[in-house]
Structure 1
Amino acid sequence: MAKKDKFTKEDEDLLAELGVEVEAKKAKKYTAKEERIIAGFEEIQKFVEEHGRLPQHGEERDIFERLYAVRLDRIREQKECRELLQDLDTQNLLTAQQSADLSIPDDINDDELLEALGVEVDSDASITKLKHVRSSADKRAVEEVANRTRCEDFEQFKPLFERVQKELDAGIRETIRFRKDAGFTKTELKKAQFVIVGGQMAYIAEVGESFKAPNGEEDARLRVIYSNGMESNILLRSLIRAMYKDETSRFVTDPKLGGLFSGEISEDDQSSGTIYVLRSQSTHPTIQESRDVIHKIGVTGSDIKKRIANAKNEPTFLMADVEVVATYQLANINRFKLERLIHQFFDHARIDVEIKDRFGKPVRVREWFLVPLFVIDEMVEKVMDGTIGDYYYDVGAARLRR
């Protein structure tokens, strides 16, 4: 006798009298994540049943429809979701034509999706209880920021982000808060600019042709690369609007705007400073092998001869006498920031040498660089004309490149 999925009490009693044993079918248990996926899919099914069509993307659509469209795209992209829902898919939603070609991060949840679409929800309530829905312009801005795709040539941009982060850590660059009192329509963003928005550092790699937005403002399509390896083709006004709405958004300054030189002398500035370049007389094998191109570069506000008088007893000078091979005089300079800038600029050419101090204790010295003198001359020129931020040092070619 075929087994039925469900019997009434009367059916069970009758079957028992006939000598038929009834095997109770155990309800399948789902994890919390699976229950969430099923519940979300059922909401999509209900929408399709009520409207007779798949949910669609687009600003003109209802906020819930856009949420369902994104959710359906994510479900279709994940094998575990398709396997979980295939027996429940009576409407063939998993195999129907895709509603949009949209790349969505796998780890984003419904609340984050709603936030990206411009909606705030009670943390302990269902997503149907909306607290606040933003304007269409605001929703368009955050939606464009959220719609990011993977940057296929991110390896080209990764060194830029690493360099900027190091310059921020060293104080060479700074971050400036977005000025909301000035209004976002007066804000200017340009190519090769770094900003921080949505907790991510972003780089404006390309700026398209300018055109008039519906409100009369100048607008343009941007290619924006993010530090997490994603990118977006966002409108200029949308990026500005997203920064305007983000309480933590900031601009990243250029190195030449980092306060190295100034017309007025502050507490950290010196009336004059000297960039010095030293060559070591050390007998250490690493130094002997490339003595002519290994240099120590520093900045001081005092007499250089006094600075190096005790060189043979100081680990920073490799416990050996040194020769001054070049000096450059600069005025109104923050020497601490300048030295950090120089060391960061030549960071990839830094050599790692271990020596013993006068007590026999091993010390690793990392303040010497494998850089020819003519390259140092060119670097100083770029510092003085304020264009150092446009260049980097190519160690293999031993030259500066833009």
Structure 2
Amino acid sequence: MSDLDLDELRSELSDFAVSEKKGGLSPRDERIITGFEEIQRFTDQHGHAPRHSEANDIFERLYAVRLDRLRALDECRTLLAPLDRQGLLSGPSFDPVAPVESMDDDELLAELAGAAGSSDITELRHVRTAADKRAAEEIANRAPAEDFDQFKPMFDQLARDVKIGTRITQPIRKDAGFLKANIKVGDFFIVDGQTTYVAEVGEPIRAPNGESDARLRVIYSNGTESNLLLRSLQRALYKDETSRRISEPNAGPLFSGDSEDGDLASGTIYVLRSKSDHPLVAANRDVLHKIGVTGGDVVRRIANAKLDATFLLAEVELVATYKLANVNRTRLENLIHRIFDVSRLDIEIMDRFGNPVIPREWFLVPLFVVDEAVERIKDGTITQYRYDPETASLRPVS
């Protein structure tokens, strides 16, 4: 300490000095004012005083309880009246409390914080740090989406697209470089078990860490919406290990009958008609077709049909083929089978070894309907139709 002069010593010791009260306020008064200022900031931001409702954000409910208790305490009303520029203290109190004289500082602080029960809420009994406040600002209120009727058909269509394979769900991995920039208007995600749609992205704003951010309007499949921050949605997607992005519908034709320069042949859709003498097959021969996809030669694929239970252990007739280019054969085959699933043939036969087999690729569908389905898969409109077995036609989805 001999190396320090008096000024340096005074500077060193000042860090340990007890701060003086500002304006003659006691620590309890300062806590009351700080809590009231938080309520005022909430009111400025949202345009209304905090409200009681289970549908509201946890912080809004806590602020509502705190405001009720401030209104009920005469001492608090007297202290805060000069600061009440929004008339918050003039509203009714819903929560009776004990007289202020019977409370010590800690009891009053607990009252003002609205602390009750769970350990995570007790953290709010004390004045929050800047980090706490930033976290609170990121928590958006969910409210009923008044115009959900405009979005419901989109969610219904999305479900159909996923079912028939024109859209797929993809896991979100942080280490794969999923960024805020990957979130844009029109995106669908699955997070915390809810399908979410990004309806709007607001103007860029500067986050506390200096990065760019934005407010979103997110619509949920349960009919609610929220205005969470873009980075908050990104963080929620990271946190939920089961979160997924839902892909766009397949862009462009899935396949083409006319190969162009640069096309990479991926295989062939084939449509077969069975020559089996099975009574069920014979009775429906003209409309019973096997629809499959192969990456090899179709003729070679069906050469030994009479030995393969998949082909009903009988010779087959090749009635139509459609050449593929640049597609995933498995996904395309699944898509076609889902379209005609309602007309799938229910038949069990015995294979060459006497084991029961249920072939899954035979459908009671006229050939002209298969042709139409292929064309609608090409132009991307197949998701707007469903197969109606009663009329043997593709019908628009109502």
TM-score class, shorter: 0.5 to 0.7
Deviations 1:167-199 (A, max 9, x none): 67xx96241537796753673121xx531122x
After TM superposition, the structure 1 = structure 2 runs for residues 264-279 of structure 1, keeping only pairs within 5 Å, are 271-279=265-273
Letter in 1 for 2:359: V
Match of 1:56 in 2: 52
The gaps in structure 1 that reach 5 residues or longer are 1-50, 70-90, 94-121, 263-268
Match of 1:298 in 2: 292
Match of 1:109 in 2: none
Give, in angstroms, the shift of residue 328 of structure 1: 0.9
Match of 2:224 in 1: 232
Match of 1:401 in 2: 396
Deviations 1:142-170 (A, max 9, x none): 4435x5689999997886565455467xx
Work out whether 1:322 is the aligned partner of 2:322.
no
Asked whether the equivalents of residues 191 and 236 of structure 2 are also in contact (C-alpha less than 8 Å), the reply is no
Deviations 1:312-337 (A, max 9, x none): 22111112221111001123333233
**Structure-2 change in CA distance of 1:217 and 1:310 (3 Å):** same
**Structure-2 change in CA distance of 1:140 and 1:160 (3 Å):** farther
- The 3-state SS of whatever aligns with 1:312 is helix
Asked whether the equivalents of residues 265 and 323 of structure 2 are also in contact (C-alpha less than 8 Å), the reply is no
Work out whether 1:309 is the aligned partner of 2:303.
yes
Taking the aligned partners of 1:274 and 1:224, their CA distance within structure 2 comes to: 40
Taking the aligned partners of 1:349 and 1:291, their CA distance within structure 2 comes to: 14
Flag the structure with larger Rg. Answer: 2
Taking the aligned partners of 2:325 and 2:141, their CA distance within structure 1 comes to: 47
Asked whether the equivalents of residues 345 and 364 of structure 2 are also in contact (C-alpha less than 8 Å), the reply is yes
**Structure-2 change in CA distance of 1:167 and 1:393 (3 Å):** closer
Match of 1:391 in 2: 384
Asked whether the equivalents of residues 276 and 299 of structure 1 are also in contact (C-alpha less than 8 Å), the reply is yes
Work out whether 1:375 is the aligned partner of 2:369.
yes
Work out whether 1:175 is the aligned partner of 2:170.
yes
After TM superposition, the structure 1 = structure 2 runs for residues 207-286 of structure 1, keeping only pairs within 5 Å, are 207=199, 223-225=219-221, 230-235=222-227, 238=229, 241-247=232-238, 248=240, 249-256=243-250, 271-286=265-280
Taking the aligned partners of 1:162 and 1:376, their CA distance within structure 2 comes to: 23
- The 3-state SS of whatever aligns with 2:345 is strand
- The 3-state SS of whatever aligns with 1:336 is helix
Match of 2:18 in 1: none
Deviations 1:279-315 (A, max 9, x none): 1122334333332222111111222122112212211
Work out whether 1:144 is the aligned partner of 2:141.
yes
Asked whether the equivalents of residues 278 and 326 of structure 1 are also in contact (C-alpha less than 8 Å), the reply is yes
Deviations 1:220-271 (A, max 9, x none): 756431xxxx221334x65774244431343211351699679xxxxxx963
Match of 2:71 in 1: none
Match of 1:115 in 2: none
Asked whether the equivalents of residues 278 and 322 of structure 1 are also in contact (C-alpha less than 8 Å), the reply is yes
Taking the aligned partners of 2:168 and 2:364, their CA distance within structure 1 comes to: 25
Letter in 2 for 1:65: Y
Match of 1:65 in 2: 63
Using the TM superposition, name which of 213-222 and 175-184 deviates more.
213-222
Letter in 2 for 1:232: T
Taking the aligned partners of 1:55 and 1:234, their CA distance within structure 2 comes to: 17
Question: TM-score normalized by structure 2?
Answer: 0.54
Asked whether the equivalents of residues 178 and 251 of structure 1 are also in contact (C-alpha less than 8 Å), the reply is no
Letter in 2 for 1:173: I
**Structure-2 change in CA distance of 1:141 and 1:126 (3 Å):** closer
The gaps in structure 2 that reach 5 residues or longer are 1-38, 40-48, 68-92, 96-116, 207-211, 257-262
**Structure-2 change in CA distance of 1:212 and 1:317 (3 Å):** same
From the two aligned structures, give the one with the greater strand fraction: 1
Letter in 2 for 1:395: D
Match of 1:43 in 2: none
Give, in angstroms, the shift of residue 219 of structure 1: 7.0
Taking the aligned partners of 1:303 and 1:159, their CA distance within structure 2 comes to: 39
- The 3-state SS of whatever aligns with 2:121 is coil
- The 3-state SS of whatever aligns with 1:297 is strand
Letter in 2 for 1:298: G
- Number of aligned pairs? 282
Taking the aligned partners of 1:390 and 1:137, their CA distance within structure 2 comes to: 43
Letter in 2 for 1:319: L
Asked whether the equivalents of residues 270 and 334 of structure 1 are also in contact (C-alpha less than 8 Å), the reply is no
Match of 1:361 in 2: 355
- CA-atom RMSD in angstroms: 5.0
- The 3-state SS of whatever aligns with 2:349 is strand
